[in-house]
Structure formats: C-alpha cells, structure tokens
Amino acid sequence: MFLTITSTAPSATDLGYLLHKHPGKVQNFDLPVGVAHVFYPETADDRCTVALLLEVDPIGLVRGKRFGGNDAFALAQYVNDRPYAASSMVAVALGKVFRTAMAGRCDARPELPDVPLPLELHVPALPARGGVDVVERLFGPLGWQVAATPVPLDPTIPAWGDSRYVDLRLRGEMRLADALNHLYVLLPVLDDAKHYWVSPDEVDKLVRAGGGWLVDHPERDLITRRYLAHKRQLVATAVGRLAEVDDAEPESIDNAVPDDAETAEAETPTPLVEWRKRAVVEALKQSGSTRVVDVGCGEGALLRVLAHDPFFTEVVGTDVSHRALEIASKRLNLDRMGDHQRERIHLFQSSVTYRDSRLAAYDAVVLMEVIEHVDLTRLPALEESVFGAAHPSTVVVTTPNVEYNVRYETLAHGSMRHTDHRFEWTRAEFASWAERVAAAHGYGVRFAPVGPVDDEVGPATQMAVFTIGGTA
C-alpha cells in the first residue's frame, strides 16, 4: 500500500515540520497490520513529497483475532488485495504515523497548521466501490480536483474491462490536517470494508476526523454508513454526535440513542438538540428577554431559531472560533437577508472566559452546551465574565447530565459524550454550582429538565435559568 503527499508551496519542505518527520530520514513504524515506512522522494524548496509505504503482514492479519482471524479456513484471507490496495489499513497507518499533523498541531512552527497549502495527493491503487463516480462525489465537495483513473483488469485484454480499483490523484489548496482527515475517513469508505472489528470507539474516531466537514457533506449518510460498517446503532450515534460537534441539524437521531427494534419501528424520536433549542427559547420568552446573546454559538444551531422568531428584536452570536462564525453567517444566509432583518443579527469573536464590554447591554445570555467545554480551573473566569461583568437580567445554561450516560449503549463506561468535554456533571453537582454562582452575583435560579425524563437517571440534558432577584 502506497500514497504520496506533495506540497508545492514556497518553502515546500515545511511539510517536514507539519508532519513531524525529518525529510532527510527514513522512519519505520510497527503497526498491528505490518510496518509503515515514511520517506521523502523529493525535497526541493518549491516541491516536497512525502511517501507512506505500508508493508502488510497478511499472515499476521489472519492470526490476529482483531483482524479477522476467526475464519481460519477461508482461503480469501491469504489470497487477497490487502498488501497492495489502500484501505482501512492505510487509515490505521495515517492515524498512527501522522497523529499530530491530523490534530493540526506543530510545536516547532505553531503558525503552520492553519495555513492552506497547495497539495497533491496520489494513491495509485485504491478500491472504489461504485467506481469513479463515487470517488468524485466523496472528494469533490471537499474542494479537491479529482482525477480518478480506472485500473483495467488486464491491460493486454481490454475486453475484460476495468477492475474495481482506481488510480487516484487529488489537487487542492487546504490545510494539511484537513487533507489527512479526508483520507483517514474516505479511504475505508471507498473500500466499503474494514479489516478489523468495528466497535463503538469507531464513532469517536469518525467524530474526531469528520468534525468540521462531514456534517455538511452531501454524501454524509453514505460516508457514515460505510465507515461504521453499516451498523445502524453506531450510525445513529454518529449522526447525533456530529450534530453536537458542528451545531447542525441531525436528520434523524441525536446522541447515542439506542437503535433497537422497538425504536426502529416507532416514530423517529426528536433529536436532543431540538429539545435543547425549544427549552432555551421557551425560557427566554418566559423571562421577556428580547435582546439575546448566544455565547459560544458555534456554527449557529440556536441562532437560526432566534433569528427567524420576530419575538427577539436583537440576536448576537459570539464564539472564540472565527471559522465557526463564518459558517454560522453562511447558514444564517446573512448576505441574502433584507436590511431590516440583517440589522437584528450580529456576530463577533469573543471568549467566554474574558470580560467583553459588548455583552453588557443585553437582556439575556445563553450558554447552551458551553460550560462543559471549559476547564474547571477556568470556570471562575467564565462566571465573572458572564454573571459579573455582563450581568444580564437572565442567564440560561444547559449542560449534559452525566447520570444519563448509562442509557447510551454505545458510550464506553466512564467516557464523556464529546471528546472536547472537560467534565460532565450529575444533577446534584450542577445544582451546587448554579446555586453558588447565583448567590454570589445576585441571581435566583430554577432548574428544568430538557427532553424526556428517565425515572432513574433523569433527563439527558439539564438546564438552569438565572434571573436577577428571582427565586428558585
């Protein structure tokens, strides 16, 4: 298995910094599937290429239970394309060898990961179920120029036609981390097979690698199904969690809802994100808050509801991520709004843990699924910023109820619902925090469940509504 990544940017050898792999060395990495070799076939200032060669151990795969060793008498285990064609095994190698680059981190040159590069990717032998059309449908919407050439079954016998393999070349200008994550997800999707047991932790991998692009991809359903080996329960979980990450509208189901026969036959349940938005809007209207700030608005899930409700005369969205605000603006269609409607909506960059005088003049501040993304040591700064400096009449806070996690069958014991969560609180822990904050800043606080309430563990999401001078 072989692939190359080429940068044609000025100072192209910066690719070595981004990948944490020295251009002058050959490096070898032991993997469960074999040995990965990383080397640089060319290292000119204007063109630098890194190659990943994966030497698969087919006998080791057969012997290993994780990689399909249970069917010990199947000849196909020994006679197949795995040593040659890029597949989920290349994804395994990418995740191991280029882990830091995929995360968008470069300790030596911190500015580099955010810089789009002119890149060329080449995979000479790629299984593609669905042919060239599917390859273009998967990579094209991500901004790649796609050149996929079918590989003939036998060049000397044209009548036999094409094989299921393509020679893939991708060209585009984007961050290296994005390019690597595209490959990580889409190579096994094109093969439509994973050569190891697909467990619930594959959802975490998909959310981590697909966050930021998968939820808006026109082939999201196809990608999710194939990546998770068509396991409906895992697919349902992934759809919900991707919606949580990207603040998008899930088509069918939210975070980790079991996909048993009863559920499948029943009416599609309301996604948890919908319950949250409804609960927050109701709390805002009950408080009479018409001028609202959505702090940590992400890509605009709540903003879209507020912007289209004439009850709210001014709507503000803030987030620390400039990219998230750009996506929120696009999803709100701000450029196509009339002048009157556009004047009601404002977006600006801000951090919830720093005082911002621009937040001080509004009726209400919303923190919908925000506090759990803040380090516990930084919570006092958030409290001072929102409840102290801004000091709106109403503050609405929602956060996961960790007690409910036992109802998510695909969520490993002790795991959190999102890889970026710093903590998840019980109902008692949330109440203790909220009551302390309310007392310190002159608020009363009431609590409300969000979504259906389980008799034993309560709701999936918990909400606190703070009002100045109010009572619980």
- In this predicted structure, the answer to whether residue 108 has a pLDDT above a threshold of 80 is yes
- What is the pLDDT at residue 326? 87
Q: Is-above-0.85 flag for pTM? A: no
Is 168 buried (19+), middle (13-18) or exposed (0-12) by CB count in 10 A?
Answer: buried
Put residue 296 in one of left, alpha, beta given phi > 0 → left and psi -120 to 50 → alpha. left
Which amino acid, one-letter code, is at 416? Answer: M
- What is the pLDDT at residue 228? 87
- In this predicted structure, the answer to whether residue 340 has a pLDDT above a threshold of 80 is no
Least confident segment among 11-15, 32-36, 166-170, 245-249? 245-249
Instruction: Delineate the domains of the chain, giving CATH numbers in brackets.
Output: 2-197 (3.30.1610.20), 272-468 (3.40.50.150)
Q: How far apart are CA 184 and CA 162, in angstroms?
A: 25
Q: How far apart are CA 222 and CA 214, in angstroms?
A: 11
- In this predicted structure, the answer to whether residue 183 has a pLDDT above a threshold of 80 is yes
Q: How far apart are CA 75 and CA 56, in angstroms?
A: 17
Length of the chain: 472
- In this predicted structure, the answer to whether residue 415 has a pLDDT above a threshold of 90 is no
- What is the pLDDT at residue 62? 57
> What digits encode the pLDDT tens for the residues 143-152?
999 999 998 8
pLDDT band at 137 (very low <50, low <70, confident <90, very high): very high
- Highest-scoring range by mean pLDDT, 30-44, 124-138, 241-255, 276-290: 276-290
Tokens standing for 95? 């995740």
- Mean pLDDT score, 59-70: 51
- What is the pLDDT at residue 197? 63
- In this predicted structure, the answer to whether residue 141 has a pLDDT above a threshold of 50 is yes
pLDDT band at 114 (very low <50, low <70, confident <90, very high): confident
Tokens standing for 12? 């192209």
Tokens standing for 72? 């010990």
Contact yes or no for 115/175 (Cβ under 8 A) = yes
The long-range contacts involving 347-350, CB below 8 angstroms and separated by at least 24 positions, are: 347/297, 347/316, 347/317, 347/318, 348/316, 348/318, 349/318, 349/319, 349/320, 349/321, 349/322, 349/325, 350/295, 350/318, 350/319, 350/320
Phi, psi of 38 (to 5 degrees): -120, 125
pLDDT band at 81 (very low <50, low <70, confident <90, very high): low
Neighbours of 313 (CB within 10 A): 10
- In this predicted structure, the answer to whether residue 281 has a pLDDT above a threshold of 70 is yes
Residue 346 β-bridge partners: 316
- What is the pLDDT at residue 34? 81
Put residue 276 in one of left, alpha, beta given phi > 0 → left and psi -120 to 50 → alpha. alpha
